[in-house]
Amino acid sequence: MKYKILIADDDPGIRDIFKIVLTKAGYDIEVKENASEIFENKFRIPDLFLVDKLLSGIDGLDICHYLKTKEQTSHIPVIMVSATPDIGIAAAKAGADDFVEKPFELSYLLKVIERNISRTKNEEPLKKVEDK
């Protein structure tokens, strides 16, 4: 089974690199250059979101916050990508599960993605404890 990753990035070069690398790694990729489509729920529900912080006219942190407040996407890992100083702090405040600071090695990006998908897929649903 291929895991699905939705990439939100307005830089065509970065989108192409992400798409090539992640497809070769075995992921099913959906790319959004226009982040407003996410706010309009015009996407397939993925297993992970990879969101750039600086998008044309939209802050990726706002996208992250939006995804984490919606019932159908709140449980899906969001990884923020940025060269912005202190992205880790800002990403955490927006509800992101992880972040990757630019510049980065592609092997590191793959490790962060795998860690977040594995963590989510290995979690068992909470079992209700019956009163005795």
pLDDT at 34 (0 to 100)? 83
pLDDT in tens, 63-102: 999 999 999 999 999 999 999 889 999 999 999 999 999 9
Under the banding of pLDDT at 50, 70 and 90, the label for residue 129 is: very low
Q: Which long-range contacts (CB under 8 A, 24 or more apart) does 24-27 make?
A: 25/110, 26/2, 27/2, 27/3, 27/113
CATH numeric code, 4-122? 3.40.50.2300
Parse the chain into domains and list their residue ranges: 4-122
Q: Is the CB of residue 92 less than 8 Å from the CB of residue 61?
A: no
What integer pLDDT is reported at residue 123 of this predicted model?
A: 57
End-to-end CA distance of the chain: 41
- Residue 74, pLDDT score: 96
Residue-wise pLDDT tens digits, 7-47? 999 899 999 999 999 999 999 999 998 888 999 999 999 99
pTM value > 0.85: yes
Q: In the predicted model, what is the mean pLDDT of residues 46-67?
A: 95
